[in-house]
Structure 1
Amino acid sequence: MTVELHFHGASRTVTGSCFQLRTDRARILVDCGMFQGPKTEKELNYRPFPFGPGSVDALLLTHAHIDHSGLVPKLVKAGFEGRIFATRATRDLCSVMLPDSGFIQEMEVEQLNRRNARRGRAEVEPIYTAADADQAMLQFTPVAYEAWTEVADGIRARYWNAGHLLGSASIEVEVAAGAKPLRILFSGDIGPDHKLLQFDPEAPAGWDYVVCESTYGDEERHDASPERRRRLLKEEVEGAERRGGALVIPSFAVERTQELLTDLVELMERGEVRRAPIFIDSPLATKASAIFESHASEIEDGPLLRRAMSAENVRFTESVEQSKGIDRLTGFHIVIAASGMCEAGRIRHHLKARLWRREATVLIVGYQAQGTLGRILQEGAKRVRIMGEEIEVRAQIRTLDVYSGHADGPQLRRWIEKRLPIRHGLFLVHGEEEALSGLKGRAAQLMPEEHVVVPALDDVFGLTRDGLRVPDRQGKRRILPTQTAQLDWHNDLSKLLLDIGETMDHAADDRARGVIIRRLRRALEETETETGNGPA
């Protein structure tokens, strides 16, 4: 039997997770996530899938995060009619996260089309709508951990707790192939040690092939115990309070927000930091928090979370008017808002209102993909563009990485070691170049280096009981491997516009500004002459 594994996402980049397992009798997907980060990658969300959605028999979701589930409504809209297998908690989270994603797209496209109309440009459509997401939810089938489920002809699967997020799973897949099945494990995202709300990850040992995430494969965190985590958070809160302004925390609405809220309330109740207003300014976070509360018996420290959510100083804002009202507050207060990478949602409005204030603090607590506003701030940008407006960065930009939902390099190595033997191939995905290289070096200490593979986007591999092979027929690449997880021309253009504005501001007088403009115009005219793309 022919068995092929196609890498349609999260390959040499950290978003867009999507893997196709194809046999002579069936096709399944593991994850169908949205690309985030540089616009070159995000543009892939709008292109047709590199496979026929109607030919896919089933979709298996590792967890609800948008980079793993965000294109599910598009898949259904494009003709996928099969079942979507996920844990019950993943289904519940997707029921609020996917419609929220569709709603955000509708709102952003509406605003873009108003601008396009003024510029004489064509209208665009959202990838999918909230209604499309609601329709997709009808195809979800909940599964229990550690129970076999027949998902397609000749393929069965079993879900194991991945310790990353409420409902997250590593997925064990068995493909019938003669007397002995082919065994494949998809790690999903693996949680770290000492995660506040999740138990440690689990999965069996002994595989033919393993697909493993690599987000922090090159990093080593020291002592991420609950005590150290709260102590570091306390120091950040105290520093923000001394500066006298708002503490703004861009946070993923699902789980990161709930973890931060739990620790903040715990510190305040112990008297270790001053009690202050905490605003959870994300309708999605509010809905997700309710789901976490309903699943509190399934997670570690569920009682702590319940107590934090009902604390008197915690306010869940719903309306846009309430959100705008927060920015008019003075004095010390804490705002937690999505999105975690500052790419969409209410956090961008809060950053626009606060970044230029010296008394404000922005605390980054999660992974920031290359090209995102969060990464640009984290790397020390002095000016940024938000919603078409230049903002000078005067606020304190701080990073606290102990809330990561991902295992670090040594923890991933231990996870891989516990899965041994891995007989034929370990595929490293969901990481940028340095992380992939770091984890490959760690994995090569456990198995032959030639068995550790770093696939590029749209690579195809044949899986056999005798070893890995590259089929004669390869998928067509949508973008080159060198274009993933890189700053692209959109980032360069934004930086250029900021540099032009700063140079004009610092020019000695109008004459000097005129010289700058003439040189820029001359450079544009030379480019138009060279390319033949002059104005009509």
Structure 2
Amino acid sequence: MEMTLRFLGATQEVTGSCHLLTIDGKQVLLDCGLIQGGRAVELRNHEPFAFQVSTIDAVVLSHAHIDHSGRLPLLAKLGFDGPIYTNKATAELCTVMLKDAAMLQQRDNERLNKKRKKQQLEPISALFDQQDVDKAISQFVPLDYQVENPIVPHVSVRLFDAGHILGSAIVSLQLGEGSQQKAIVFSGDLGRAGMPILRDPTLIDNADLVLMESTYGNRLHRSWDETIAELKQIFAKAITESRGNILLPAFSVGRAQELLYLFHLYAKEWDLSRWKICLDSPMAIEATRVYINNYPLMDEDFKRFTRMHPGEHPLLSNVEFTQSTDESMLLNEVHQGLIIIAGSGMCNGGRIRCHFEHNLWRPECDVIICGYQAEGTPGRALVDGQPELTIRGKSVKVAAKLHTIGGLSAHADQAELLRWYRHFNHQPPLILVHGETTAQQGLVDAIQQDKSSAPQALAIAAHGDKLDLNGLPQLVWC
């Protein structure tokens, strides 16, 4: 029986997750994400898929982040009409996130075509629109965690909580029959043990092959206690010394809700009563409501807190939702005492750009970077120390104090990745995806240092690589 796996995205880079499973003539995609980064990088999304869309029988989606889900509307636009299997909460979040992605596609495409017209170049079409999003959403098949579901002949899927964002899943696939049966585990994006709101990533016992993300494969995050102490110090200095505003570019799903929860838990300790806290992101506001409606997926600490404080929801209690554009613009008339949580998380769009225009050049303001910043994004430029950003065609000096809080990351670090992998029995073959090359090589070096727990085989996937799954436990490339 033919069983192959092709690696078509998030290979030696972090975004654009996409892998193609073929078994006995049936084809299943694992994720179908947008490539994110600078303008030149994102134009790769307009290139044709490396497969015939008409041959895809089903999609399994690990979670709602756009670098994993963002090209599903394009897939539907090009004729895919099969099922998209994912956790129920992921399906709800995708309704929010893909709608926003369609709006951004249309807006960015209009701006791009204005430039192309000046350069006497042919206009290009937006990747997809709201109609394509609606079609894709109609194809979602919501699944519960830990329930095995057949998806095509000879393939069944079971999802486990990945602890990364609400609804995020580790994907376990059972392939084939009898002696040819194989168990393939795809980590998706792995969260971290002990983080607020969500449960810890599920540990899996058995697999014949593991595909594991490696976003932070070469680094260790600060401990949770150190992270909380660092945030407390930032707020204390902002109150006593800076006396400006604090800007937090945040991913609308996951990071924004985590920040709201922290601001509730530590309101007194961080003296937050002196501040007006605004969630300035329509998408984050909608996503927060999805979080609230999926209470059963939260960790025990979150549930215990809500039981002990009836009527006081920890994601709603001390924050103002800034829904309209006019409300957002009014915030720029306030010069001190504001904490603004706004998208986008990598500073390459959304309302945070407008707030940067009014605050980034002010030395009395603070910017807290609290998530991964892909190469080529304005957020990465800030982290790398770039002295200016171009916003709406203008150069804005970076004078605000910049703080990079790695301990808030929703991705497992090197030690946590190793711990998750080493729980598998018999150290199955391991292929690294979803990481920049330096991070992946750092993880490989760490894996190889401990010979007793080294995988039976180890590789870093390259774009287009094709693996013969019948060859396991050896990695036999086609």
TM range (shorter): over 0.9
> Matched residue of 2:11: which SS?
coil
Q: What is the match of residue 149 of structure 2?
A: 149
Which whole-Å deviations, capped at 9, do the CAs of 1:464-490 have from their partners, x for residues lacking one?
A: 24522111xxxxxxxxxxxxxxxxxxx
- 1:422: how far off? 3.6
8 Å contact kept, 1:26–1:154: no
> Matched residue of 1:362: which SS?
strand
Q: What is the match of residue 441 of structure 1?
A: 445
User: In structure 2, how many angstroms separate the alpha carbons of the residues matched to 1:303 and 1:258?
Assistant: 17
Residue 451 (structure 2) pairs with residue 452 (structure 1): no
Change (3 A) 1:449 1:140: closer
Change (3 A) 1:443 1:420: farther
Residue 417 (structure 2) pairs with residue 409 (structure 1): no
Q: What is the match of residue 174 of structure 1?
A: 174
Residue 433 (structure 2) pairs with residue 429 (structure 1): yes
8 Å contact kept, 2:365–2:401: yes
Letter in 2 for 1:184: I
Identity %: 34
- 1:229: how far off? 3.4
Letter in 1 for 2:236: E
Which whole-Å deviations, capped at 9, do the CAs of 1:86-141 have from their partners, x for residues lacking one?
A: 01000010011111110111122233334545555433321111221122100000
What does 1:426-505 correspond to in 2, within 5 Å?
Answer: 426-444=430-448, 445=450, 446-448=452-454, 451-464=457-470, 465=472, 467-471=474-478
Letter in 1 for 2:254: E
Q: What is the match of residue 502 of structure 1?
A: none
User: In structure 2, how many angstroms separate the alpha carbons of the residues matched to 1:191 and 1:372?
Assistant: 23
User: In structure 1, how many angstroms separate the alpha carbons of the residues matched to 2:52 and 2:228?
Assistant: 48
- 1:310: how far off? 3.0
8 Å contact kept, 1:150–1:156: yes
Identify the match of residue 240 of structure 1 among 238, 241, 250.
Answer: 238
User: In structure 2, how many angstroms separate the alpha carbons of the residues matched to 1:467 and 1:252?
Assistant: 39
Letter in 2 for 1:352: E
TM-score by length of structure 1 reads 0.83
8 Å contact kept, 2:199–2:297: no
> Matched residue of 2:75: which SS?
helix
Measured on the aligned residues, the alpha-carbon RMSD in Å equals 1.9
Which whole-Å deviations, capped at 9, do the CAs of 1:327-359 have from their partners, x for residues lacking one?
A: 111222100101111111111111122111111
8 Å contact kept, 1:99–1:131: no
Query: Which structure 1 residue ranges, 5 or more long, are not aligned?
Result: 472-536
TM-score by length of structure 2 reads 0.93
Letter in 2 for 1:324: M
What does 1:3-402 correspond to in 2, within 5 Å?
Answer: 3-117=3-117, 120-225=120-225, 228-241=226-239, 242-270=241-269, 272-300=271-299, 301-302=302-303, 307-311=313-317, 313-402=318-407
- 1:317: how far off? 1.0
> Matched residue of 1:297: which SS?
helix
User: In structure 1, how many angstroms separate the alpha carbons of the residues matched to 2:469 and 2:200?
Assistant: 30
Letter in 2 for 1:9: G
Query: 85-94 or 124-133, which moves further after superposition?
Result: 124-133
> Matched residue of 2:375: which SS?
coil
Change (3 A) 1:286 1:179: same
- 1:253: how far off? 0.4
The number of residues matched between the two structures is 467
User: In structure 1, how many angstroms separate the alpha carbons of the residues matched to 2:375 and 2:137?
Assistant: 31
User: In structure 2, how many angstroms separate the alpha carbons of the residues matched to 1:173 and 1:4?
Assistant: 13
> Matched residue of 2:412: which SS?
coil
Change (3 A) 1:466 1:214: closer
Letter in 2 for 1:236: I
Change (3 A) 1:271 1:29: closer
- 1:387: how far off? 2.7
Letter in 2 for 1:413: L
- 1:23: how far off? 1.9
8 Å contact kept, 1:88–1:144: yes
